[in-house]
Structure formats: C-alpha cells, structure tokens
Amino acid sequence: MPEITSIDGYLHKVRFVFPKETGDRTAYLSASFNCNGHGSTYFRDEGNWVCSITLPPGRHDYKILVNQYHSFDENRRPVSENVAFEIPLENAYHNPRMRQFAAVIGGYSIVRLAVPNGGGQYTLETQNGSVIYREEVPETFGTVYEFGGNFRKYRFSGIAGTLPENGFYSMAPEEKNSFRRTLMYQIFPDRFRREAPHTEGIVPWGSLPTTTSFYGGELKGIISKLDYLKALGVSHIYLNPVNTSGSNHRYDVLDYFAIDPILGNAEDFSRLIRTAHSMGIRIIMDMVFNHTSVDHPFFRDAVARKSDSRYYHWYHFTDDNPEIFRGRYPSSEVQTTPGYETFLGFGGMPKTNLMNRETGEYFSGVAAHYVEQFDVDGFRFDVADSIPVDFFHNLFLNFRSYGKDIEKICEAWCVSPYFTDEGLFDGLMNYPLRSMIVSLVNTQADFGEFQVQYRNLCYSYGDRVMAQMMNILGSHDVNRLRNALGEDESRFRLSYAILYMMNGIPSLYYGDEAGLTGGPDPDCRRSFPWKDINSSSLEFFRGLGRIRQEYSAMEEGITLFHNYGSHFGIVKADHENTIEMMFTLSHGCRAEALGELLMAEGVTQNGDEIEMKPLSFAVFSRSRLDAAGK
C-alpha cells in the first residue's frame, strides 16, 4: 500500500516507493485518477522509484508501468489488473475556496458538503436567500450533499453541529467567460469538403473509407462552408490534425510547423482563421505532442545515430539497438517487447520524452507558433492522459503571455479532475457524459441513475469546470451516434436534445446533422454527404442551435431534474431565463404545457396540454423557478 498522509482532512498526500532494477528507464503510475495514462504521472529516480501525488477520499486503483510495457504492483510483483486502495473521509468537509464545493453559475449559488459514512443528515441555513434544491449523491466514502439556490451566505447544520462553527460562509463572485460556448463543431479535415477536382490517389467522395483512404478534403472546403456552420449556431470549430503527415488522420506528424499540402498551405490556414474570427467562430487545433511519426526526421536520426544523436533523449528508448516496427504490440505479428515506447503499442507512433527540457521547449514553440503566427484560439491535446502534467503546467504558464484566452482541452476518457487542477486544463472531452446519455436513451439506465451520475460529475470537477467541458456524443474514435442507437432517429434526436441542455459546450461531430452513419473506425470517418443531406435532421440541429444561442441559461445555468412519473424534465435556469425540456422514454403520456413551446419532436400541443409519444421531447421557455425549484 502507498503511504497516505492527510493534508486537510479531505485532500491526502499519497507516496509510492517502488524498487528500481537494472534496465529500468521509466516508471509510470497508471491509475484510475489519470485514466490509466502512460506517463502523465511518473516516478523520479531517487535510488528507488518515488512518486507523490495529492488525492481526495474515495476508492482508487493503480499499477506501475516500467519501460511502458511491464506492469507491477508496488512490491514489483507482475500484475495484469489494477491494485485498489481506499482513502477514508473522517469528518464532514467543506471548503468554499475549492471549486468542487462552491460556485456561482448563472447567478445561482451551488454548494456541497462531503460527509463520511455514518455522518448523519445535513441541511443548509442561509442568510437573505432561499434553497431551491437539495440532492444527496452517494460516494464510496459516504455522501455528498448538494444545495442550490438564491443565497450568498450559508452554513451547514447536522447532528454534530454547524459548519462553520460560528458565522456563515460567503460565496465568491461569479466567474464569467470572456466568450460564448454555444456549439463546438468537430471536423475531420480529409472528409469534410473538397473544392479541387478529383486527382490521382484520391478515392471517390462518398465511397466507404478504409484505414488508408484519402478523400482530399481541403481547408478551402471548410472556408466555403463557414456560413453553413454559422447557421448551426457554431461558436467553435475543432480541427483534427492539419500538420504534414503520411496518414489520412494525421496523428503521426512529420512536420509540426507545416500544413499538410493535401489540405492546403499556411495562407489557406491563416485565411480560414481570419474568416472564422470575422464570423465570431473560434478555431481549436488538435496538437499531437505525445508521439511523432516513426518517419519523423528526429526519430530517424535518433535510431540511426543512437546516443550520438541530439534527438536520442527526445524519445523513450528501452533498447540500445531498437528496431523500427509498424504493427502493434502485443499482437501475433509483434510479440517481442519493442525497443522504444509508443502510443498504445503502435510502432508507427514513437512516444516523445517530454520530461526532457529540450523536447518540452521544442513543443512549447510549436504551440506558440500557431498562436503568434496564425491567431488560433486553443488546442485539444491528443492522448493528454499520457503526457507529463509538469509539461502542461509549464506550457500553460507560457500561454498567459499571449494576450488572449487560449482554450485548453484534454483528451481523456474517464472522470479525472486530476487534469483540471489549478494551472492545467479548462475541461476534458466528456466521454463519460456520452455513455450516460446513450445508456439513458437506450433504457439501459433509468432517469434516477442518470441524475446521480450527472451530479457526481459536477462534484468531481466543480461547476466552473463543467461549464467548460467539451460534451460529445460522437467523435473520430467511436461509432457514429446513430449506429450506437441502432439507427433509431427518435433516440438520436432525443440524445442530442439532452446534450444541448447540459452545462459545457455541446460538440457536434461533422455530418451527424446531415444524416451520416458509420460504425467503428474507419467507418465513423466517412465523407460528408453534401449531395444527400437529410434536410429534416439539418433543420432539427439548426433549431437546437437557435435555442442555445438565444437563451443564456442553456450555456451556463443551474441544472435541476424532475421525475414527473410518466415523463421527465431537465431544467436550466439563470437570472435571465428558465428553460425546461420535458421528455419521455419507453412510454408516451399527456402533460401540462409549461410555457412558450420553443421546439418539440413527437409532441402535439392542444391548448395547455401536450400529447407526447415515446422517445419524444418538448423544450419550453417557462416562468422563473420558485422556492421549491418548480
């Protein structure tokens, strides 16, 4: 077991000491809190391997990776599964300075209290305000009590007394974003639009993709469709990699300072950003710093010249005479441990050593180049859960000198507030929310389970971070949403309607609005069907976009859930407006119309009543919340 020391009764210092042996070159802590990443949390060589981190109470699990490919527990016993340990919470805890415990969102206050098992019930007392809702969220250490309402001073009351013992806590002022987050639109550049005529080596537009297909999508094609994107309500475009590469996905970069000539050139990229900015659209670049192409000149020089190469320590070599391979380890083709660390065992993508100062400075220069020369607005960092957090701390410190807010999005697939600690990422790609919505709409989870899971996300990250999450239902790495839902259009539209109600920025994967389908990669990366757009689907997404743009509560409001028995409700409210989406799952029903009907699917309105089919929804602009949250 690691050594665990309490810092303040809630946060704990956790120290691992691991025996170092001859042949060890790196040691990583791959754990539940860092999405089992390969390098975000690394051991330092102090004779033995030593690693210290700060963790909250709860259940955690880990294993230790040596030279990336060998897994051990803390006593150096080989393991295949993670080893679990628990950090207890001994007393009720609240810290108004920690974002998990207190925030003002949309003019409403949200506060939380962590209570250990057996710690009893708690209520909230306020000065000059009301409590609109109270939720109990189960945790492995006990319960998190969440309260929201119109108050600025508060205290908790339970069987052990009050917190604080004397007086009241005060809410800090609300943090406001300097820009809107209405809709992120993700573009896989090779598949969005091609303006130039067909050329040799380019497959026909609309044919089914393979792993090696090039369709010849261009930056000029994106520019030509910016009006189309603006009509969807897009505030951000997230571009998959655009740097020079030998692959259609471009995650194996050959030149970080060049635009892939198949896509266009530097002037095309600059014009895309200038034109987007003139329309109020921000551009997010995909940055691939975890690994390069196996054909990158730095890696080739390191393999050829070994320790005589300037770039030898820019990578993690596990063998003094490494052999290049292009398959995946382990597999039937590759059974011998590779001579260098990689992205998830793919030999064509050797892992960079960002613990090396010179390597870190080079990649910091890459980011600076695109901000200073092209005025990009932010980055999504590929495989960020496997890149040292120390590198990101230093990189993001540099961002402060650019004179603009640079958005920082982390690719990580689990619930991991580790990556949103102070000085790190604004938010993550919210894959857990995708799983929650798909399970709810597929009736694999009930509404109560969804509500608890969502409250748990809010507690884990804090409401300010949740307002900056990239909320996704589709991406280049998962089945298209229509396919995940059995190509049931009602389930598909209900899923996106729920997504647009959540705090954070909803992300629309290119072509979902046009009716595009697709299974696992590469099928989820089909070309955009410009000649066969589903007009009904397109109008549906334009409607969602209009609501998201016109009502500020959709973007950053307090969130309430209502179980009406026959149907369900999600409420978003700020001090400007209140929006409620009522929806059904397996059964239809009749319900009371709540106000002005903004949008509906599968719903018929008759005066003050609506008739709802199964898997239908209606979005209302309604009266402000009362003291009971109704």
Which residues lie closer than 8 Å to 85 by C-beta, 6 or more apart? 1, 2, 4, 59, 60, 61, 62
Answer yes or no: is 194 within a domain.
no
50 shares its domain with 21: yes
478 shares its domain with 608: no
421 shares its domain with 535: yes
What are the two backbone dihedrals, phi and then psi, of residue 488, each rounded to the nearest 5 degrees?
A: -90, 110
Active site residue 487: no
pLDDT value of residue 56: 97
Which band of pLDDT confidence, cut at 50, 70 and 90, is reported for residue 623?
A: confident
pTM for the whole structure: 0.96
Distance between CA atoms of residues 115 and 163, nearest Å: 12
For the beta carbon of residue 143, count every other beta carbon within 10 angstroms: 21
Domain that includes residue 83, residue range: 3-87
Among 213, 229, 232, 231, smallest CA distance to 221 is for: 229
Mean pLDDT confidence for 372-378: 97
Q: Which of 411, 426, 555, 574 is catalytic?
A: 411
Mean pLDDT confidence for 212-231: 98
Answer yes or no: is 220 within a domain.
yes
Mean pLDDT confidence for 237-256: 98
460 shares its domain with 326: no
260 shares its domain with 382: yes
Mean pLDDT confidence for 344-365: 97
Q: By the 8 A CB rule, do 500 and 506 touch?
A: yes
Distance between CA atoms of residues 11 and 186, nearest Å: 37
Domain count along the chain: 5
Distance between CA atoms of residues 33 and 419, nearest Å: 9
Answer yes or no: is 533 within a domain.
yes
Q: By the 8 A CB rule, do 315 and 350 touch?
A: yes
Burial of 312 (0-12, 13-18, 19+ CB in 10 A): middle
* Domain limit, last residue, from 123, 147, 170: 170
Sole residue written with tokens 């520019």: 223
Distance between CA atoms of residues 351 and 354, nearest Å: 9
Digit-coded pLDDT (tens) for 552-610: 999 888 999 999 999 999 999 998 899 999 999 999 999 999 999 999 999 999 999 99
Distance between CA atoms of residues 618 and 609, nearest Å: 12
Q: Is the pLDDT of residue 627 over 60?
A: no
* CA atoms lying within 13 Å on the CB side of residue 523: 10
Mean pLDDT confidence for 277-286: 98
334 shares its domain with 372: no
Among 334, 257, 266, 337, smallest CA distance to 297 is for: 257
Q: Which of 252, 260, 382, 385 is catalytic?
A: 382
Answer yes or no: is 196 within a domain.
no
What are the two backbone dihedrals, phi and then psi, of residue 447, each rounded to the nearest 5 degrees?
A: -65, -35
Active site residue 426: no
Distance between CA atoms of residues 14 and 276, nearest Å: 46
209 shares its domain with 133: no
Answer yes or no: is 258 within a domain.
yes
* DSSP tag of 57: S
388 shares its domain with 520: yes
Digit-coded pLDDT (tens) for 527-561: 999 999 999 999 999 999 999 999 999 988 899 99
Digit-coded pLDDT (tens) for 80-120: 999 999 999 999 999 999 999 999 999 999 999 999 999 99
Which band of pLDDT confidence, cut at 50, 70 and 90, is reported for residue 128?
A: confident
314 shares its domain with 429: no
Q: Is the pLDDT of residue 626 over 80?
A: no
Percent of the chain with pLDDT over 70: 99
Which residues lie closer than 8 Å to 147 by C-beta, 6 or more apart? 110, 111, 112, 124, 131, 133, 134, 135, 154
Residue 211: which CATH number? 3.20.20.80
56 shares its domain with 144: no
Digit-coded pLDDT (tens) for 30-79: 999 999 999 999 999 999 999 999 999 999 999 999 999 999 999 999 99
* DSSP tag of 552: H
Answer yes or no: is 92 within a domain.
no
| Range of weakest confidence among 250-254, 320-324, 506-510 | 320-324
SS3 464: helix
545 shares its domain with 565: no
304 shares its domain with 283: no
Residue 330: which CATH number? 3.90.400
Answer yes or no: is 320 within a domain.
yes
Residue 559: which CATH number? 2.60.40.1180
pLDDT value of residue 179: 79
